[in-house]
Amino acid sequence: MTTQLLDSPTQQRVDQWLSGSYDADSKAAIQKLIDEGNTTELTDAFYRDLEFGTGGLRGVLGVGSNRMNRYTVGAATQGLSNYINAAFPGQDISVAIAHDSRRMSPEFARIVADIFTANGIKVYLFSSLRPTPELSFAIRQLGCQSGIVVTASHNPPEYNGYKVYWNDGGQVVSPHADNIIAEVNKITSVDAIKFEGVPERIQLIDEEIDAPYVERLKSNAVNPDVIRRQADLNIVYTPIHGTGITLVPRTLEALGFTNVHIVEQQATPDGNFPTVKSPNPEERAAMQLALDLANELNADLVMATDPDADRVGAGARNHHGEFELLNGNQMASLIIYYLLNAWKDAGKLTGKEFVAKTIVTTDLIDRMCERYGVKCYNTLTGFKYIAEVIRELEGKEQFIAGGEESYGYLIGDFVRDKDAIASCAMIAELTASAKDRGLSLFDLLMAMYQENGFYYESLVSLTKKGKTGAEEIQQMMADFRANPPKEIAGSPVVRVDDYKALTRLDAKTGQSTVMKSGSMGIESSNVLQFFTADGTKVSARPSGTEPKIKFYVSVVEPLESKDAFDATYTQLKAKVQRVIDDLKLS
């Protein structure tokens, strides 16, 4: 416990909550912290207002302006309501609302619904938990102007969050995001929030959206004959106590897969996530129960979705017969590799097709797209920017698929956010396709590397909590800008991209050029990228949704044969470690 005094802005927020029209329990919780002299917790809870980041509003549950509670959720919704009403004057406005299995998610969803209706807006509210991508689909299906999903994605149990969507089904981007923030910031008093809802303006939805969504997911299949031949593909799936249980098994069954096994210990939705430390399929521990069952059943494929079912982790047996989890770069690449080949074989590549990914996602995808004559657009981190590219190019170019390294993928454009339901279906299909040719999913991975180069990526994520942590992260970025590395792991840095200044520096000539900004997913953002002569790429980016700074390291070598996989893999891992040591990231 620290004895430091609160700074003036923090103290003002504390005083506002103690004197304002907040409930007695909230005031009592604040007073308890004051009586205990717990200025650390008070500072973290009140040093700022929750802000929209790459994923919207997200924070720890509890009292305070920097916490997720009925008042921060209420202020965001009131500001959003004001903006929507101003943006669509004279129209019959509607929004769709969904929520995941987290603590307070159903309650927050109802609070959000009440505030919208109090502001004259019709609400389509899912009657129970549903995946985030289905919310995106519902907005488009119902012709809504906006939508909300209450979720904190894969964060630990103490978090919740709030994602805002626009009428195209994608998360809000500029100028709407900036305008919404401005409206939210105008809500300076809790008394400005209209909490008293109008129940008659709420319409519950479920099967009328579920059924058409599943039908559209079925239309993504590029080779139904393969699925029929491999209907007994042995699949293990876990929703990790989240929303995936509502639609992943149903979709796999609708496609024709008959041998799907659910991890029963994790099948029941539970915001405490009792079987895992963190419900994140990026972490092996979260998938351990699924892996255990997969080994027991000699499964071909194991898949796990995060609580709101927009991300999916997957694994298959490697060439040593052991289950190996594929990372987000590998799975995004495999999905796009499979689809590019399928579109080519079907004669569907006309030169007007495109793929979209984020700037920190593997460049293997760029290389494959170039080989197939398909455009690959790179955006800032956040799937909302991929959705923006799809919207910008609608009617001009045909979207095939998109992905990001953080286990989020999208196939087709009827959803405008990463979709773990669609991804599970496609991963099952491409695994069935490989098996139909006597190959495993891992064999397909190695074949892709042989054709295009063995790209290996690693993520270093440093957690820096609270106000001091945020300041430390900003200082790290400032230091990298002031003193960029001239050499990384023995290879000279040849290019530096600064997305904050929107400049690209040629390190050989010293010449700096300005990046094109504005639409298509590129705007000023606190990201730095370093490129070396041997193809190594390092990206530095403070997270927009978590108290972390992330370093994405990518290296590449040719893969001469499948027999050379292990030796090349070892070489690449050693090279990544040299990069980490050189930049002092550990």
Among residues 183, 453, 225, 420, which one has the least CA distance to residue 312?
Answer: 420
- 246/128 Cα distance (integer angstroms): 10
Helix, strand, coil % over all residues of the chain, rounded to 5? 40, 20, 35
Under 8 Å between Cβ of 124 and 96: yes
Element (H, E) at 542: strand 537-542
Question: Measuring CA to CA, how many Å separate 412 from each of 126, 336, 428?
Answer: 23, 12, 16
Query: Which class for 437: exposed (0-12), middle (13-18), buried (19 or more C-beta within 10 A)?
Result: exposed
Element (H, E) at 356: strand 353-358
Among residues 406, 439, 207, which one has the least CA distance to residue 319?
Answer: 439
153, 333, 406, 539: which one is catalytic? 153
Under 8 Å between Cβ of 290 and 304: yes
Among residues 424, 402, 391, 426, which one has the least CA distance to residue 220?
Answer: 426
The answer to whether 512 is a known catalytic residue is no
Beta partners for residue 488, in sequence order:
491
Query: Which class for 268: exposed (0-12), middle (13-18), buried (19 or more C-beta within 10 A)?
Result: exposed
- Hey, which residues are catalytic here? 153
